[in-house]
Structure 1
Amino acid sequence: MPDTAPAGLETGVPAPTVVVLIGDMALSRAGGDVIATHNLGSCLGVTLHDPVAGVGGILHAVFPEAHLAPGEELDNPWRFVDVALPLFLSAAHRMGARRENARVTLFGCASVSESLRDFSIGARNLQTARAWLSMRGVSHVARHVGGRVGRTITLRIGTGEVWMKCPGEPATRLQQGGRGNVATGLALGLEP
């Protein structure tokens, strides 16, 4: 069950120390770091937190598959879910994160643009991520995907708290209780 943001936070989310841009990622072991990404529309946002290793991060990928834009994955691999997700999880593993402890949250994948609706970018981003994670035995703890609204997500490295803010709504904190395979989050829109 989500919590409302604490009083005194102007935007409803903790102030970030690191901002992840579109088609990028950040990982940290610094307990005081707060990582955020803004404007998740059809893009896929992934938070990862391993409470045992104290490693966490956010990925903000744009398109489902690199083969849709041959050669561009060489310029920026973080833009494509099928390339970025394995790189992100591998980088987290090198920093000490372990699959059995990792809490993975999926965000975004909305249908926000009339002009892009025919391409179903959001739905395809989600499908690509879920298939890749499932094939490798990685469970996601929570998800807030689909719909027609953008999202801002924030991860506190020291606590693993994941905050989400949608336009016109108060920020909410997704509960992160339990082990890595316990589903405790929200599911909207594109989820079957």
Structure 2
Amino acid sequence: MVRGKTQMKRIENATSRQVTFSKRRSGLLKKAFELSVLCEAEVALIIFSPRGKLYEFASSSMLETIERYRRHTRSAQPVPRTDEQNMQNLKLETASLMKKIELLEASKRALLGEGLGSCSLEELQQIEQQLEKSVNTVRSKKSQVYNEQIEQLKEKEKVLLAENARLTEQYGSQPQPATNEQRENQSYAESSPSSDVETELFIGLHRSSLR
């Protein structure tokens, strides 16, 4: 019967966690020492406790072992590509971009109705479908803009009607001030002769002179 592996997890109890840390730390330091003696291995071990306390073991010099590790990691990194390889890759990328630009320019001319002499029937149909799709997109956007403008005008109309109703309610019952023309007509009527005064026009000698 094969026993299943016990899943390791953090010890919740702080006291038990500290006891386990002390035991495992001592055992790990002991194993590192034994490995360096029995196998003549260069061993460096660094441990920080949960509170930040440092525990370490080095079979020779800790700093020398760390520097040796750094030299090893640098030498294990992939060798950078030479300038010639970089130039070759740049040429390939440039050629690929130029090809894409040529295709885009040809597609642009075809959409403008230029250079269609070498196009096949299938290519012309594709161009036609693309143009129809573009026209439908433009019409849809134009309709959307129209609807938005209409809604804005309706909102402005509501505001103006509300303002007009407010002004009518505020000033509608008060007498309106006379205009300049009305004031001039009134002044002229006051300065003119009264309508009950008789006026006659005589031609020739006055009646009093004939007596």
State TM-score, norm by structure 2: 0.16
Greater relative contact order (Cα < 8 A, sep 6+): 1
**The structure with more helix, counted as a fraction of residues:** 2
Q: Whose strand proportion is higher, 1 or 2?
A: 1
